[in-house]
Amino acid sequence: MTKEKFPVEYSRNLTSIQRSLYAYILSLLPNRTDAEDVLQETNLILCQKASEYDPAGHFQGWAFKIARFQVMKQITKNKRSKLHFNNDIVENLTTDDFDPERIRITQKALQYCYEILPEHMRTVAKMRFREEMNLKEISVKIKRPLGSISATLHRIRSNLSKCVQNKMLAYKREAEY
């Protein structure tokens, strides 16, 4: 790759895979703070390695490979302090589910499903996903026990997941029609 091509092609590629990359890292390292740190490190390395990238290659596959390596590094770093998946799981969590088209459709469905969440669930969802409060902070704020918050978040995720599945089936039917 020539230096001149870096800003245009490379940044476009890097831009287009950010959501997929974050989703992939989070699935390997199911802790948001750690996943964000690894995303940063992966992006830095991808910039450093820009000159090594073959434009004829599969950019996302290459980036995911680097991300997986960074995840393994993070797991080794936190081995004693945090729960982490073993190597077999990390190797078996494939990247196929994170293609841009799938993410686009999921996004669209999720937008609809989030809007129709019951009000009390939206309140908790907003605190958890938008304000990034942890369970303890939410529990203090809305004066409910931790277990209840945990259960509500589980129901929110399940509701969204079911709704997204149904919505995606509807999109599929629309496309077929």
Partner 1 sequence: MPVSHTYPMSEEISLEEVDLLTSQVLDEAISSDDFARLETLLLNPVYRRRYLDLMLQESLLHWEESKPESLTFEDPIKPRLFPFPIISAVAAIFVAVGGMIFIKFPDILEDFYLSEKEVTFHKSSVDSDKPINPQTHFSASGVDATFLLSNPSASASAYETAEFQAKHGIEALLKNRTFDNKGHISLHPKFSTWSRLEKCGVPSENGVLPLSGSDMFKFSQMVIDVDSQIAEIAETIQVVDLRNLQDSFGEGSATVDAAVLFNQAHGVANDSTEFTLSIHALSCSTENTHESLASSKSTILSDLSPQSWEEVKSEIVLPEKTDFLVLAFSAKKIGPDALIADASHHYADNLNINLSLQSSGVRTVIEIL
Site for partner 1 in 88-127 (CB under 8 A): 88-89, 92-94, 97-98, 101-108, 110-111, 114-115, 122, 125
Least spacing, CB of residue 81 vs partner 1, in Å: 12
Least separation in angstroms between residue 12's CB and partner 1 is 8
Contacts of 96-103 with C-beta under 8 Å, sequence gap 24+, read 98/20, 98/21, 98/23, 98/24, 98/60, 98/64, 99/20, 99/60, 100/16, 100/17, 100/19, 100/20, 103/19, 103/20, 103/23
Number of residues that bind partner 1 (CB under 8 A): 72
Does 51 help bind partner 1 (rule: CB under 8 A)? no
Residues of the chain by 3-state class (helix, strand, coil), percent to 5: 80, 0, 20
* Residue 56 contacts partner 1 per CB under 8 A: no
Return the range that interacts with partner 1 (CB under 8 A); candidates 51-59, 60-68, 145-153.
145-153
- Written as six digits, the tokens of 122 are 């939206």
Span 57-86, contacts to partner 1 by CB under 8 A? 83, 85-86
